[in-house]
Chains A and B, each alone.
Chain A
């Protein structure tokens, strides 16, 4: 049996790895996406005062720390049964919308766009952010860098620092927004709305006006039917910060809708011995293994899943684009994994529009941003939508608010099963008996999981390049017969 190893980082011991096994005929027998990393937060958060967790748990990920900061802040609100003042919620949402913009911009331009702008099988030396800038022009490149920085600036001002912010605590935020800050945020947010339009236009010009790419997006190998999960507001519109969790089936029909506190009635996790990452599934259906369809408990999260699980977007420009996406791709839900990129840009547009709304809300500068908790702390769940999907923090404490139990279901975890299946599907379609594995082919396998923007890879977000990929093919005796790399040095 042959074995192909795809290592998304240059080192084999990296933070994520794909093993593809070929059968004796040279067809794909199975594929394993593995996370060789375990961080142990569930255990060492025990014994800490629970109000410290919003400043401890962001160290799970230094690229999306703000998602953990917010999920944790909401969980500690719940533990103390405290409702933050309205202004505090708005400040948190503004901060968090900025984080979404930062993350989505970095992913689209550094990781996703080069595949389309330069082509999925382009020379790897060019298929990166620098190649992208060469193609779309320095002016656009400058806009990308500027707007990512804007998003970081807003987080730093509200959160104390952009990476590992400190503003969230039970009952609100540590500091109010001043009028000077608000004006600055408003200007940056308006600019972000324009940038959102520009990004959608680039997507339109590059992908949607190119039949070859549209065919790729809707092709069978990049299509998978599953359940979809995301937070929605009271009108079932996408919300990143607050709401109920809604799950729809592969026909788009509502399957479940629940309050964060009840997540354990709906979600459970399966453990496999070959990866440190667990496999969440829908509890009422059960774990049926890595299989797609309605009879399998596998569900998906992240931008496309959020749009599929909602009835629309809460802001006008994003809503118009939402409608256009579903009209173009045949109605809701869309099962095409690569449409995740379109959905990501629609969300960026929404986050930017939402930032403007929040900046123009007179309450945003209200100095009352704290409610002092008075109830006895016990237990609480905080759920937010991380850039990569639904993120769950669940804490239990003693009557003094000292942490007894912590449970975490991270965004990428929710997509674990789906990523494994998407990779296998593309690998099966491309790697076949008698066909030589080419570099472009391997990139197309990588595109299947890059669409999910997995957090195991998220540290590469801001880099001027893309995930290095190495594939090693072994013959039936385990001897290396071919080695392919994206960076042909």
Chain B
């Protein structure tokens, strides 16, 4: 079999996805056996103009990490899409928008005002902001422009596969490498990971999920053997795709949903709202006095920022209207 041509790219990301690829350790040698890496900006000296010079669809697989929030990132996504047969959204940001997607609760002007003027340590009485073009004594200096709205990769270009996680786990990356090596890719649209909700693989014991008090993680010391939701801690397990091996839960902390919605669900937050309503006994809402419903729901702090922690850009309502 001819070697695959592989591209790896990062856009609005933290670098953790690239580290995750390295954390597969000896498996990286298998990658080298089955693939030639033709583009990987942080590791190899192939540049944008090299990609532009490639034939359309000449790259077999592109692992694209990071969300899209600048015109330059959008151009790179479009360029790589044109050159690539199989586009893979790698990690929560490319898959769902990720943590940077929380930016969609505000806009560029507010973010700049906060960081460059209002920040307590800022000494900026003239309200100087970074500019796309600055003329200095010696010449012109350019910066890329920052958008109001963060997008997931499939909101910019077509995507064939999704690798979830912040960052993706070693077993899942290995599974993808094996699938590529065997030339046996699953149906287009597949999200790697489990087909079931995280609760299915969570090692904690589960009973009847009925609570009337919600606790924030620092407010109680949870029983390490028992379901966190049943102890009143909001855990995104019921609304989140499994496959992460419940790493956070095993560390005694609740899931925040980085693997995205369960199969067949597009809106992770909406799914979580119904799960929470059910455990709070609100499905028979009409039987409860209005004050009681309000009192129960008020206990959930920042539902939008919690239920859509990693998936705001891909939710039904994907930004705050400004």
Contacts and interface: CB of A to CB of B under 8 A. Distances in A.
Interface of A: 1, 3, 9-14, 19, 21, 29-30, 32, 34, 36, 38-40, 42-49, 51-52, 55-56, 58-63, 65, 76, 80, 149, 152, 159-167, 169-171, 174-175, 263-264, 267-276, 278, 280, 283, 287, 370, 372-373, 394, 400-402, 405, 407, 409, 458-465, 468, 470, 485-487, 489
A44 B100 CA distance: 8
**Chain B interface main SS type:** loop
Interface string B31-48: 000000000011111111
Contacts of A460: 42-43
Contacts of B137: 29-30
Contacts, number: 244
Contacts of B124: 269-271
Interface residues of B, number: 75
A391 to B, nearest CB: 13
Given A12-B47, A40-B111, A42-B115, 4 more contacts: A3-B138, A40-B146, A271-B130, A273-B129
A45 B134 CA distance: 29
Contacts of B100: 39-40, 44, 59
B130 A38 contact: yes
Contacts of A174: 217, 251-253
B50 to A, nearest CB: 9
Contacts of A65: 14, 16
Contacts of A402: 301-302
B105 A55 contact: no
B216 interface: yes
A62 B111 contact: no
7 contacts: A38-B111, A62-B14, A65-B16, A160-B251, A267-B121, A274-B131, A373-B218
**Which of A39, A275, A405 is the most central at the interface, judged by chain B CB atoms within 10 Å of its CB?**
A39
Contact of A275 (B43, B110, B143, B256): B143
Nearest to A268: B123
A464 B31 CA distance: 15
A-B residue pairs, 4 tightest by C-beta: A62-B16, A160-B251, A487-B45, A459-B15
A274 B167 contact: no
B141 A19 contact: yes
A10 B111 contact: no
Contact of B15 (A38, A273, A458, A464): A458
Contacts of B115: 38, 40, 42-43, 278
Contacts of A13: 48, 72, 76, 144
Given A32-B136, A51-B216, A270 B45 contact: no
Contact of B43 (A3, A167, A276, A463): A463
Interface in B104-118: 105-106, 110-112, 114-116
Among B16, B123, B218: residue with most chain A CB under 10 A? B218
B221 A370 contact: yes
Nearest to A275: B130
Contacts of B98: 59
B21 to A, nearest CB: 10
Interface string B185-211: 000000000000000000000000000
Contact of A160 (B41, B253, B306): B253
A271 B167 CA distance: 32
B139 interface: yes
Contact of A489 (B45, B76, B111, B256): B45
Contact of B217 (A34, A51, A152, A175): A51
Interface string B49-93: 000000000000000000000001000100000000000000000
B48 A11 contact: yes
Nearest to A68: B14
B13 interface: yes
Contacts of A76: 218
B141 A486 contact: no
A264 B120 contact: yes
Given A65-B16, A274-B131, A30 B138 contact: yes
A30 B14 CA distance: 30
Given A59-B166, A62-B16, A287-B123, A166 B251 contact: yes
